[in-house]
Chains A and B, each alone.
Chain A
Amino acid sequence: MSMLQVKVWRGNEQGEFQAFEVPRRESQTVLDVVTYIQRKCDPTLAYRFACRVGVCGSCAMSVNGQSRWTCRTHVSKVAADGRLEIAPLRNLPVVRDLVTDMREFFDKWARARGRFQGSKRRTDDFARVAPDSRERRQVDAGIECIGCGVCYSACDVVTWNPDYLGPAALNRAWTLVNDVRDVDRNGRLAAVAGDAGCHACHTHMNCTERCPKQISPTVGIAGLKRMVLAAAVKGQL
């Protein structure tokens, strides 16, 4: 049986990689590897997962230097030479081993006003949104985000500017400013404007490259930049 040479981060902000040998199996995912280590080699290994099928977004880690969802990442795709280096996500405080503190990530969704603000009551009639309208198609392009934090971890601007809202929060804001039912458009544009908002993005497109759901936060951020600039010129911010 062939073996995988796996290095796993142990500790919190300070720590080191620990080496393990894991049996190579067919259709093996990176999450399978981490689970094998915890169950067979070292039960003290801390990591986070829930659904195992790419829905919950809780198992994201850094695999051979790139942020990925580990439950849907096959070993054959990332470890052709039989070596894996698994670390916690970048740009987030490490709680222990492979578990990061996601509070800042989700707090930024709140700062970007990522909550739908409607005006209708439950007694009102349904809002009718044409599926082929421009706004609806732009919402469709970004709405499948699972909040895994891969884009946030891959973003260099977050590293350089810790106040930066990050791709996921801005993508969420983009879907809401395109939601014709939402009534807090200008408030949201003000929340995502400026040095810590969409205008900090350098269009490196790491988020777009790494998003496991094939969303392009970069497109949404570019749209927000234009929309916010137009609002600023009109004095609406």
Chain B
Amino acid sequence: MQSAECRVQIAECECRVRFIFLLITHHSSLNTACERTFVNIRSQVLLWGAQRVSAMVLALCVVIHLVTIIYAVRNGLSAAEILGRTRGNVGWLAFYAVFVAVVAIHAPIGLRTIVAETLGWRSRGADIFVLAVALSLAIWGWRAVWAVFY
């Protein structure tokens, strides 16, 4: 059984969460089109360019990555044998560091368009969300790359 004070605190907390949610999701309706986003027109164009260039690099990286996986599986390499080849190998470190970087650039830009077109989310909150996704992909990806190198 909750005390009256506890129920009041929960209600206040719910109110704050709803207020923050409304601020994020309805921000776009409070602003004109050009103020909806942190990203100005020139930056929107450069983001488009970055996504196209990163797609070209990704195409190459994915082919190399798939060939590597197929080679490892078909030759029955164990985890220890794979680690034996990647540890201390600057070439694999550089390749996968670039792979992670282009994923962290390419995917969030596409996600920004997807949330705008399918959810109608075109606010600064959306930009912050995709930036957080980009940083997460980069940090966790590079952490994994470092883990098989060091």
Shortest distance in angstroms between A39's beta carbon and chain B's nearest beta carbon?
A: 43
Shortest distance in angstroms between A160's beta carbon and chain B's nearest beta carbon?
A: 4
Expressed in whole angstroms, the Cα–Cα distance for A228 and B118 within the complex equals 26
User: If A195-B37, A233-B49 touch, does A160 touch B42 (CB 8 Å cutoff)?
Assistant: no
User: If A160-B118, A161-B116, A163-B33 touch, does A193 touch B41 (CB 8 Å cutoff)?
Assistant: yes
Q: Which residues of B contact A143 (CB under 8 A)?
A: none
Shortest distance in angstroms between B5's beta carbon and chain A's nearest beta carbon?
A: 48
Interface centre among B33, B48, B117 (most CB of A within 10 A): B48
**Are B41 and A229 interface neighbours, CB within 8 A?**
no
**Are A237 and B41 interface neighbours, CB within 8 A?**
yes
Q: Which residues of B contact A193 (CB under 8 A)?
A: 41-42, 44-45
Q: How many residues of A contact B (CB 8 A)?
A: 18
**Are B48 and A229 interface neighbours, CB within 8 A?**
yes
Return the chain A residue nearest B46 by Cβ.
Answer: A232
Return the chain A residue nearest B49 by Cβ.
Answer: A229
Give the interface size bracket for B toward A. 10 to 19
Interface centre among B33, B37, B44 (most CB of A within 10 A): B44
Q: Which residues of B contact A110 (CB under 8 A)?
A: none
Return the chain B residue nearest A237 by Cβ.
Answer: B42
With an 8 A cutoff between CB atoms, is A65 at the interface? Answer: no
**Are A199 and B46 interface neighbours, CB within 8 A?**
no
Q: Which residues of B contact A23 (CB under 8 A)?
A: none
Return the chain B residue nearest A232 by Cβ.
Answer: B45
**Are A237 and B45 interface neighbours, CB within 8 A?**
yes
Q: Which residues of chain B from 24 to 68 have any CB-CB distance to chain A below 8 Å in the complex?
A: 33, 37, 39, 41-42, 44-46, 48-49
Shortest distance in angstroms between B68's beta carbon and chain A's nearest beta carbon?
A: 31
With an 8 A cutoff between CB atoms, is A225 at the interface? Answer: yes
Return the chain B residue nearest A225 by Cβ.
Answer: B48
Q: Which residues of A contact B45 (CB under 8 A)?
A: 193-194, 199, 228-229, 232, 237
Q: Which residues of B contact A233 (CB under 8 A)?
A: 46, 49
**Are B44 and A194 interface neighbours, CB within 8 A?**
yes
**Are B117 and A195 interface neighbours, CB within 8 A?**
no
Q: Which residues of chain A from 176 to 196 have any CB-CB distance to chain B below 8 Å in the complex?
A: 190, 193-196
Expressed in whole angstroms, the Cα–Cα distance for A196 and B42 within the complex equals 13
Q: Which residues of B contact A228 (CB under 8 A)?
A: 45
Expressed in whole angstroms, the Cα–Cα distance for A225 and B42 within the complex equals 12
**Are B44 and A199 interface neighbours, CB within 8 A?**
yes
Q: Which residues of A contact B117 (CB under 8 A)?
A: 157, 160-161
Shortest distance in angstroms between A136's beta carbon and chain B's nearest beta carbon?
A: 27
Q: Mark A100-138, 1 if CB is under 8 A from B, else 0.
A: 000000000000000000000000000000000000000
- Listed in ascending order, the chain A residues whose CB lies under 8 Å from chain B are 157, 160-161, 163, 190, 193-196, 199-200, 225, 228-229, 232-233, 235, 237
- Listed in ascending order, the chain B residues whose CB lies under 8 Å from chain A are 33, 37, 39, 41-42, 44-46, 48-49, 113, 116-118, 122
Q: List 14 A-B contacts (CB under 8 A).
A: A160-B117, A160-B118, A161-B117, A163-B33, A193-B41, A193-B42, A195-B39, A195-B122, A199-B44, A199-B45, A228-B45, A229-B49, A233-B49, A237-B42
